[in-house]
Amino acid sequence: MMNNAQVQKNTLYVGGLAEEVNEAILHSAFIPFGDIKDVKTPLDQATQKHRSFGFVTFLEREDAAAAMDNMDGAELYGRVLTVNYALPERIKGGEQGWAAQPIWADADTWFERQQQEEEMQRLQAEQRAAMQAAEELHRKKLAEEREGEKEEETDTKADPMALAEAKALEQSS
């Protein structure tokens, strides 16, 4: 059903709450199933209204199971409810959580990551420049070799003395 997170068997998540529903109404809707320890409807900080869900904590696990079986898919103030076991509250912000450390605690690791990234970009730029220089050098050598071959061909064709020498060498051999 759920992944590796520990499920709280006596606390229920109640989703799909209408705007009119408050903690007292939620308490009244779930009290027939057993003694309730706590009811919470987290508020949206901007609007100060609940965020369309709440949590109901029963004293007994069996009561929570009965409430979930009966109230999941039920209607309250014209809205269909989703009722599941609640997952434990998690602190946002990675492994340690934001609340476990001051806001500036991440600054050192951020600067280290920035420096590493800048160093990596610098090394990549140096490598690209070295590759371009090597390619340019290779192109120049190829061009010089081709130019040298052309000069040898043109030297013998254009110079009548070189032609005569070449003929004399061929005849003597």
User: Quick one: which of 74, 44, 55 has its CA closest to 14?
Assistant: 55
User: Do 108 and 26 meet the contact criterion of CB atoms below 8 Å apart?
Assistant: no
pLDDT, one tens digit per residue, over 83-128 is 999 887 665 555 555 555 566 666 667 778 888 899 999 999 999 9
User: Do 89 and 58 meet the contact criterion of CB atoms below 8 Å apart?
Assistant: no
User: Do 56 and 11 meet the contact criterion of CB atoms below 8 Å apart?
Assistant: yes
Q: What are phi and psi of 94, to 5 degrees?
A: 85, -155
Radius of gyration of the chain from Cα atoms? 41
- Alpha carbons 11 and 65: distance in angstroms, whole number: 9
- For 29, 52, 56, 61, 137, the CA distances from 19, given in Å and listed in that order, are 15, 7, 17, 28, 74
Element (DSSP H or E) covering residue 56: strand 53-58
- Alpha carbons 9 and 88: distance in angstroms, whole number: 10
Q: How many CA atoms lie within 13 A of 149 on its CB side?
A: 5
- Alpha carbons 126 and 134: distance in angstroms, whole number: 12
Residues of the chain with pLDDT under 70: 1-8, 89-108, 150-158, 173
Q: Is the pTM of this model over 0.75?
A: no
